[in-house]
Structure 1
Amino acid sequence: MNNNKPNLSFWQIWNMCFGFLGIQFGFALQNGNVSRIFQTLGANVDDIPILWIAAPLTGLIVQPIIGFWSDKTWGKLGRRRPFFLYGAILTTLSLFIMPNSPTLWIAAGMLWIMDASINVTMEPFRALVGDNLNKKQRATGYAMQSFFIGVGAVVASALPWMMTNWFDIANTAAAGQIPDSVKYSFYFGAVILFAAVGWTIVTTKEYSPEQLAAFNEQEQTTANNASLAVINFNKGAVVFTLLGLFVLGLVTFMSLEKELYLLSAGLVSFGVIQFIASLLQAKNRTVGGFYQVIHDVFTMPETMKQLAWVQFFSWFALFAMWIYTTSAVTSFHYGSSDTSSVAYNNGADWVGVLFAAYNGFAALAALCIPFIVKKIGIQWAHCFNLILGALGLASFIVIPDPQLLIWPMIGIGFAWASILSLPYAMLSTSVPSHKMGVFMGIFNFFIVIPQLLAASILGLILRHFFDNQPIYALLLGALSLVFAAIAVLRVKQS
């Protein structure tokens, strides 16, 4: 598959991936500052996971849709690039608006819009590597994306700290007000995002549908002649709907934590989706995007199913880190949960530096990963990097000096770079190229589902088992990375 695609030069791959520098500006500013914005606007620590639900939920909905549409799109800008442009415009506007949110619920709504906009741009970038690069160069392409993700996030994560220490912009404000250091960071990030994505749009060409069909002639012939397999959706529809209603009953009548309503809604929704797919199949209305995406979920390649477990445990850990590191470091290492205090804001700024550090190490790791893969193979390389990340997260609880937390960022950086590249390299060789976009979107399910689960249960676990101490969320994340490392060794590549 794709053996006839020519090798691209270093600079062609560079230009193709450069837009990820801008995407990561938006992503890193979101990850490093949204919890701070929520707390500043009045959110309690145990409310933060449910407020973050917008981010994974929008990815769950948006990415497979965008993947399906981009597989079918061809216009003046090509196949994937129109989505780069639309998403960049929306994300830029969102970055200007987010830090000016006057209330908590407006901020939560803006997170929803901002994350959806980032997803519109990001998902086709993943598919573009599969479109433009042959099998041998794909690992390099995804590693290059990881490099730009690291570089972009280094600057973006540290921006509030830089604004305060380099440009003397205030990092504190009156109660309920977002500090100017955060606001100006978002404004600067918006400009960089649009410029970087624009660079890729201008400098990168895409293969036409005819060229892609020629490169994949045998696969395309098989695809054209294939018919969709009949699937029994009814059993899953009944099981998931009843299970979701059962959870809903438990939460309601036993007055359990409100976050479990999210788990119930997710189970019922998946049951309803299968029921709709069953009706469409019975009426032979199987050409629409909704049915084809659901069908592909149930007929995904075996390698993709095995990689799903790797992604599940990896992203559960990452989500725990993103939503709890600020509250963990400010409370455990700086001894303050008062968002208007100097100690809290110094700690929150330091978390930005830590996030910049792990992304910086990720940029360096991205340069090393292709060599590690050549030495020990792609699965053992990913396993090794995930274990490094687990050790980094676990060490937060045993390192009392916040300045020394820079060192665990090395392991977390290697894990982050690996998570952003190697699973996609393994996946891209196991899915049909004419469905690269939609399968990349479906693969995002296994990023989103663990984040939804984390939002549902992490707060509950901390309240009932760890005296509501957020530092233990990082320890749970470390354990989850160990499970991911074990799972990747069980993947059988095609």
Structure 2
Amino acid sequence: MSRIFQTLGAGHDDIPLLWIAAPLTGLLVQPIVGYLSDRTWHPKLGRRRPYFLIGAILSSIALFFVPHSSVLWMAAGFLWILDASINISMEPFRALVADKLPESQRSYGFVVQTLIIGIGTWVASNLPWMISQLGVSDSAPQGVVPMSVKVAFGIGALVFLISVLYTIFTTSEYPPEDMEAFEKEKQKKNQFIPDIVNNIGNMPLTMKKLGVIQFFSWFAFFTMWSLANPALTEHVFNAPAPIEANFNMEILEQKEAFDVANTTFQKASNRVGSAMGIYGLSSMAFALLLTFYTAKRNINRKYVHMASLILGGLGFIGMYLIDNPEHLKYCFVLVGIAWGSILSMPYAMLSSSVDPKKMGMFMGIFNMFIVIPQIIAALGGINFISGLLGDEAINAMLVAGGSLIIAGLCNFLITNKSAISYQS
């Protein structure tokens, strides 16, 4: 998305605000979907799967049209639609893992989910590069997204729809234990707002402490998602996005110079995307190791998460220090270890600390600790803090590194033994 925004003329200081769609839609959509899915039972689709289906259809449509945006506001608008739709699918997926598994297997379950996410991240990040290697052009006129990116988004839309449909048709859900009581609860007057407010006020202490860790973790990753492309194309590949105002398009030589600079930027963006794909690959490898281990043994979730986040923070800081683009992959290996832990350990710890009957709602409320730091980052938090270090876009990666290390150290706050390690 950052690459598309830059192609359509956005400066790197504008990009975090353009990304605000993601956390805002999550803040609004996920608690609502979590609440509704707790109170849903469809005879054929069950509790969570109706939301998978709706979210997948809308997301796939938005994914297809995003790279065909002709102006910046259109791309930002499609991102709002895309993120709202993805959130409809995402929250019930997490709740489904907790629904399906006994407490003793939840670390294992969330780790397996992380493993599969890692595979998708690696493939998706490399798609534009893979497609360009097949001969699809990275070049495009000023203000037009290259065909390689358009094809990648189209493939993403198709894969997303097929994978969610596969889940819907091959996964069963357990009905409520007491269907009569469940139906009576559904027929009560809608108490959505009071229930949300009451559960926020009475959330378990462990959930609040995990929220602090989540705050710094997701501030860091939002910084990466929004600013890694401008930061790394400029600092590591020396190929920043050309600014149209610096070229006189009526002069042939200047137009040709712009086209060369733009193609160089697009190719550098492909390489940044491929490097970022490494974090999906390493999160997958990390999750695979945890999968084998947690299948038979308990782990100390607290210390695993702490060490993982600190390693990820060092990976972000390393992006500032390297002088060889080939070394970028090692930084993303470390970032991937943190990402693999973020997608599994907090949810495993949370699911051991909340009422199973309200799992969907609490997962939705927990999402507030994910989206609020992203909103703060988008509304100027990243620009302000990184601006204290200088004007270069790469300073944002230093901010991400520091934030992730703070998140790691905040794991010392977790003291609930059942959250730290399941005891049978």
- Scaled by the length of structure 1, what TM-score is found? 0.76
| Alignment partner of 1:321 out of 224, 227, 231 | 224
- Maintained 8 Å contact 1:36/1:326: yes
| Alignment partner of 1:357 out of 278, 283, 296 | 278
- Maintained 8 Å contact 1:286/1:292: no
Distance, in Å, in 2 between the alignment partners of 1:211 and 1:101 is 49
The one-letter code matched in structure 1 to 2:95 is A
Report how far residue 212 of structure 1 moved: 9.0
- Maintained 8 Å contact 1:329/1:402: no
Distance, in Å, in 2 between the alignment partners of 1:409 and 1:337 is 20
- Maintained 8 Å contact 1:101/1:107: yes
| Alignment partner of 2:59 out of 62, 77, 91 | 91
Report how far residue 172 of structure 1 moved: 2.0
The one-letter code matched in structure 2 to 1:90 is L
- Maintained 8 Å contact 2:8/2:72: yes
Distance, in Å, in 1 between the alignment partners of 2:201 and 2:143 is 47
Report how far residue 143 of structure 1 moved: 0.5
Report how far residue 335 of structure 1 moved: 1.9
Quote the residue 1:470 is aligned against.
393
What SS does the corresponding residue of 1:115 show, helix, strand or coil?
helix
Higher mean C-alpha displacement, 368-377 vs 194-203: 368-377
The answer to whether structure 1 residue 73 and structure 2 residue 73 are counterparts is no
| Alignment partner of 1:333 out of 221, 226, 236 | 236
Cα distance 1:400–1:286, how it changes in 2: closer, same or farther (>3 A)?
farther
- Maintained 8 Å contact 1:372/1:381: no
The one-letter code matched in structure 2 to 1:438 is M
The superposition leaves residues 133-182 of structure 1 with CA deviations (integer Å, 9 ceiling, x where unpaired) of 000111111011101100011111100000111x1111121110000000
The answer to whether structure 1 residue 293 and structure 2 residue 190 are counterparts is no
- Maintained 8 Å contact 2:386/2:399: no
Quote the residue 2:252 is aligned against.
none
Quote the residue 2:118 is aligned against.
150
Quote the residue 1:423 is aligned against.
346
Runs (5+) with no aligned partner, structure 1:
1-33, 215-219, 225-284
Higher mean C-alpha displacement, 42-51 vs 421-430: 42-51
Quote the residue 1:408 is aligned against.
331
Distance, in Å, in 2 between the alignment partners of 1:108 and 1:294 is 31
Distance, in Å, in 1 between the alignment partners of 2:415 and 2:189 is 31
The superposition leaves residues 83-131 of structure 1 with CA deviations (integer Å, 9 ceiling, x where unpaired) of 0100000011011111111110011011000001111001000000111
Report how far residue 462 of structure 1 moved: 3.3
Quote the residue 2:359 is aligned against.
436
- Maintained 8 Å contact 1:330/1:343: no
The one-letter code matched in structure 1 to 2:234 is S
Distance, in Å, in 1 between the alignment partners of 2:386 and 2:234 is 14
Report how far residue 347 of structure 1 moved: 1.7
Report how far residue 351 of structure 1 moved: 1.3
- Scaled by the length of structure 2, what TM-score is found? 0.89
| Alignment partner of 1:461 out of 374, 385, 388 | 385
- Maintained 8 Å contact 1:334/1:343: no
Quote the residue 1:396 is aligned against.
319
- Maintained 8 Å contact 1:89/1:194: yes
The one-letter code matched in structure 1 to 2:113 is Q
What SS does the corresponding residue of 2:413 show, helix, strand or coil?
coil
Distance, in Å, in 2 between the alignment partners of 1:201 and 1:65 is 21
- Maintained 8 Å contact 1:335/1:343: no
The answer to whether structure 1 residue 482 and structure 2 residue 405 are counterparts is yes
Quote the residue 1:163 is aligned against.
131
Quote the residue 1:45 is aligned against.
12
Quote the residue 1:106 is aligned against.
74
Report how far residue 489 of structure 1 moved: 2.2
Distance, in Å, in 2 between the alignment partners of 1:352 and 1:172 is 16
The answer to whether structure 1 residue 369 and structure 2 residue 369 are counterparts is no
The one-letter code matched in structure 1 to 2:136 is I
What SS does the corresponding residue of 1:210 show, helix, strand or coil?
coil
Quote the residue 2:249 is aligned against.
none
- Maintained 8 Å contact 1:312/1:447: yes
- Maintained 8 Å contact 2:385/2:399: no
The superposition leaves residues 12-48 of structure 1 with CA deviations (integer Å, 9 ceiling, x where unpaired) of xxxxxxxxxxxxxxxxxxxxxx011111111111111
The one-letter code matched in structure 2 to 1:485 is G
Return structure 1 stretches of 4+ with deviation > 4 angstroms. 211-214, 370-376
* Aligned-residue RMSD, C-alpha: 1.9
Distance, in Å, in 2 between the alignment partners of 1:434 and 1:355 is 38
Report how far residue 211 of structure 1 moved: 6.5
- Maintained 8 Å contact 2:230/2:241: no
The one-letter code matched in structure 1 to 2:4 is I
What SS does the corresponding residue of 1:205 show, helix, strand or coil?
coil
Quote the residue 2:105 is aligned against.
137
The one-letter code matched in structure 2 to 1:146 is T
Quote the residue 1:343 is aligned against.
264
Quote the residue 2:250 is aligned against.
none
The answer to whether structure 1 residue 303 and structure 2 residue 203 are counterparts is no
Distance, in Å, in 2 between the alignment partners of 1:36 and 1:377 is 39
- Maintained 8 Å contact 2:112/2:291: no
Report how far residue 370 of structure 1 moved: 4.5
- Maintained 8 Å contact 1:369/1:381: no
Q: Percent of counterpart pairs with the same letter?
A: 46
Quote the residue 1:195 is aligned against.
162
- Maintained 8 Å contact 1:317/1:477: yes
What SS does the corresponding residue of 1:438 show, helix, strand or coil?
helix
The answer to whether structure 1 residue 448 and structure 2 residue 374 are counterparts is no
Distance, in Å, in 2 between the alignment partners of 1:473 and 1:52 is 15
The superposition leaves residues 224-259 of structure 1 with CA deviations (integer Å, 9 ceiling, x where unpaired) of 9xxxxxxxxxxxxxxxxxxxxxxxxxxxxxxxxxxx
Distance, in Å, in 1 between the alignment partners of 2:411 and 2:189 is 34
Distance, in Å, in 1 between the alignment partners of 2:411 and 2:180 is 32
The superposition leaves residues 357-400 of structure 1 with CA deviations (integer Å, 9 ceiling, x where unpaired) of 11011111101225667576111111111111011111001101
The number of residue pairs the alignment matches comes to 391
The one-letter code matched in structure 2 to 1:460 is F
The one-letter code matched in structure 1 to 2:38 is D
Cα distance 1:286–1:467, how it changes in 2: closer, same or farther (>3 A)?
farther
Quote the residue 2:310 is aligned against.
387
Cα distance 1:81–1:376, how it changes in 2: closer, same or farther (>3 A)?
closer
Runs (5+) with no aligned partner, structure 2:
243-258, 419-424
